[in-house]
Amino acid sequence: MSLARAIATGDLAELPSRRDEDWRWTDLRGLIRAMPPASPASEGPTPPAVFAAETQLRVINGRGPDEVTVGAGETRTLALRFIAASSGTAHVSAIRIVVGEGARLTLLETYEALAGGCLAEADLDIALGAGAALERVVLTADAEDGVLVSTAVVTMGPGARFAQTALSCGGRRQRLETRVSHPGAGAGVRLDGVYLLAARRHADITTVVTHAGLDGATDQLVKGVVQDQARGVFQGRIVVREGADRTDARMGHHALVLSDRAEVDAKPELEIFADDVACAHGNTVGALDEEALFYAAQRGIPEPQARALLTEAFVGEVIDRIEDEGAREVARAWAAGRLRATP
Amino acid sequence: MLSIKDLCVSVDGKPILNGLSLELPAGEVHAVMGPNGAGKSTLSYVLTGRAGYEVTGGQVTLDGQDLLALSPSERAVRGVFLSFQYPMEIPGVPALTFLRTALNAQRKARGEAEIAAPAFLKLVREKAAALKIDFEMLRRALNVGFSGGEKKRMEILQMAILAPRLAILDETDSGLDIDALRIVAEGVNALRAPDRSMLVITHYQRLLDYIRPDRVHVLAGGRIAASGGPELAHALEREGYDRYAEAAA
């Protein structure tokens, strides 16, 4: 059951619903009453890219390249733009990304809506060779009435490194899901996210990391800010299989809820079947610190500005972890823009 | 300058200040001393507009303007500064960023141009050096992981940069060793000026050996129980607050 299958077959019964445990906070079947027509081919002009990169690839209305390969030992920066160009239509895309042995890829992925009300799924199949390094930064800019599901399945060779930061502004429903098969063996995963939601937007950051071998590390920090009637969802699962000893896994999810009608649902899970592991998780959902706000006001900073300052600092901790300097600056500007736009 | 008349304040419905009156002329430094629970911190918070302090009577004016009608940031813009007894931590915001944001917010509210980065850095370097604050510390999140003494010095640095009309120092000596106390006191003394008034709130006379007040007020039972010259502080140190506490009860 998936949005992609529902779009491909036109069968609404294929949509994930709240009866599926993994989708209980991101119900699509209750939301979508009729399947929109398939998105047409579109070659129209697209706005300037959000991320600067030597290679720019576009997937427009589900049509684009289906495989990208970075050869062994190469270093590349790639902007991958998923663009919804038609309004009220549906499309699915799938792309395979192969990062060869010892290669380095910075993947700057955007989801852009040029029109409203699209239904889209993008499936990424990402394979990292031994010693390869991938930094993936995902930024969504979907319409308020757009529905988007992005699912990345990541496999890693020994000693590989996968670092991800998902930046979400949400949509009518939006889910960024990442499933990582962690081989242990000195490989490292960083799986971060930021969701900044206003109006009635919804965003769901779901991750599953499965440690299958000795000596693996996973570090996760996800932060969210929700206001108005927005809803943030975080589902993080780290599985440490039998035999995956000496795994070091840390998960943190922290959210600020800035209005009474906004909501955050979080399900952090650690499933540990191995011995001698270091695993920790922390999860907090709360409001801005009133004492810090008073302190800032006492120094002459008006309350809306103080709230923006403290909120930007709150998510800044995640953005600071982005390694690519250009992407980090884009992320910082994105966060500042979203947090200051809506008081 | 600052005029407090018959101020009555309740917290959670419980009266804390009961008709407090105090006149603080421009250029003077007044000490407010009193036993624990007399309402010293309440006075500093009600003057700065913290939530949870309900004014049930009286008035407070600064240069003739009703202070109680203003929001905390508006009061700051008009020159009210509080050196906190327990300065708050501001996670993720470097001290430099916080200071520059505060200074520019005040300048903007007063219709002045924002300070340019080089001029700001020069100003901060100069004031930080005088307070023996390592400039690198200012790149760290404000007060996060700072020692008690470092926090108090940061308060005085902010005061030096924001150059308030009315500075309220709430138990600025608490948590300071003798060397830190001297540095902080020198910093405060350097800020004495004909157009700046200071209210030094303290439990102990010790701080007043370094910051010589023009007048000393005894706060007991929610009002000023006695006022006098600097010698009053010494008398309190010898005799304690008992007779005022009894008088108030």
Predicted confidence pLDDT, tens digits, chain A (343 residues): 899 999 999 999 999 999 999 999 999 999 999 999 999 998 878 899 999 999 999 999 999 999 999 999 999 999 999 999 999 999 999 999 999 999 999 999 999 999 889 999 999 999 999 999 999 999 999 999 999 999 999 999 999 999 999 999 999 999 999 999 999 889 999 999 999 999 999 999 999 999 999 999 999 999 999 999 999 999 999 999 999 999 999 999 999 999 999 999 999 999 999 989 999 999 999 999 999 999 999 999 999 899 989 999 999 999 999 999 999 999 999 999 988 764 3
Nearest to A301 among B82, B91, B105 (CB): B105
Q: Is residue A119 part of a domain?
A: yes
* 8-state DSSP, A337: H
For chain A, list residues whose CB is within 8 angstroms of any CB belonging to chain B: 289-292, 294-303, 305-306, 309-310, 312-314, 316-317
- pLDDT tens track for B216-236: 999 998 999 999 998 888 888
Q: Give B91's contacts in chain A (Cβ within 8 Å).
A: 292, 313-314
Q: Is residue A5 part of a domain?
A: no
- pLDDT tens track for B36-86: 888 999 999 999 999 999 999 999 999 999 999 999 999 999 999 999 999
Nearest to B50 among A289, A292, A294 (CB): A294
Domain that holds residue A281: 36-288
First-last CA distance in chain B: 31
Q: What is the rounded distance in angstroms from the CA atom of residue A167 to the CA atom of residue A195?
A: 6
Cβ contacts below 8 Å, chain A against chain B, sum to 78
Q: Is residue A342 part of a domain?
A: no
> Of A204, A195, A230, A199, which is closest to residue A149 (Cα–Cα)?
A204
- Relative to beta strand B54-62, strand B65-66 is antiparallel
Q: Give B101's contacts in chain A (Cβ within 8 Å).
A: 301, 305, 309
Taking CA–CA distances from B95, the nearest residue in chain A reads A296
CB contact under 8 A, B92 and A305: no
Residues 6 or more apart whose CB falls under 8 angstroms from that of B239 comprise none
Q: Is residue A338 part of a domain?
A: no
Instruction: Please report the pLDDT score of residue A343 as a whole number.
Output: 37
Residues 6 or more apart whose CB falls under 8 angstroms from that of A113 comprise A83, A84, A141, A142, A143, A146, A171
pLDDT grade for B111, boundaries at 50, 70 and 90? very high
pTM score, whole prediction: 0.85
Q: Is residue A14 part of a domain?
A: no
pLDDT grade for B249, boundaries at 50, 70 and 90? low
Instruction: Please report the pLDDT score of residue A341 as a whole number.
Output: 63
Angle at A14 between CA A10 and CA A17, to 5 degrees: 130
Q: Is residue A121 part of a domain?
A: yes
Q: Give A301's contacts in chain B (Cβ within 8 Å).
A: 73, 101-102, 105
Q: Is residue A263 part of a domain?
A: yes
For chain B, list residues whose CB is within 8 angstroms of any CB belonging to chain A: 48-51, 71-73, 75-77, 81-82, 84, 87-93, 98, 101-103, 105-106, 109, 141, 158, 162
Q: What is the rounded distance in angstroms from the CA atom of residue A234 to the CA atom of residue A102?
A: 32
Say how many C-beta atoms besides its own lie within 10 A of residue B7's C-beta: 25
CB contact under 8 A, B101 and A309: yes
Residues 6 or more apart whose CB falls under 8 angstroms from that of B175 comprise B148, B149, B152
3-class SS of residue A118: coil
- pLDDT top residue among B7 and B237: B7
Q: Is residue A308 part of a domain?
A: no
The ipTM assigned to this model is: 0.95
Instruction: Please report the pLDDT score of residue A164 as a whole number.
Output: 98
Domain count, chain A: 1
Phi, psi at A320, each rounded to 5°: -60, -20
Hey, which residues does A165 pair with through a beta bridge?
Answer: A137, A192
CB contact under 8 A, B98 and A290: no
Taking CA–CA distances from B76, the nearest residue in chain A reads A300
Instruction: Please report the pLDDT score of residue A342 as a whole number.
Output: 47
Beta strand residue intervals within chain A, DSSP E: 55-60, 67-70, 75-84, 90-99, 104-113, 119-128, 133-141, 147-156, 161-168, 173-182, 188-197, 202-211, 217-226, 231-240, 248-257, 263-272, 278-286
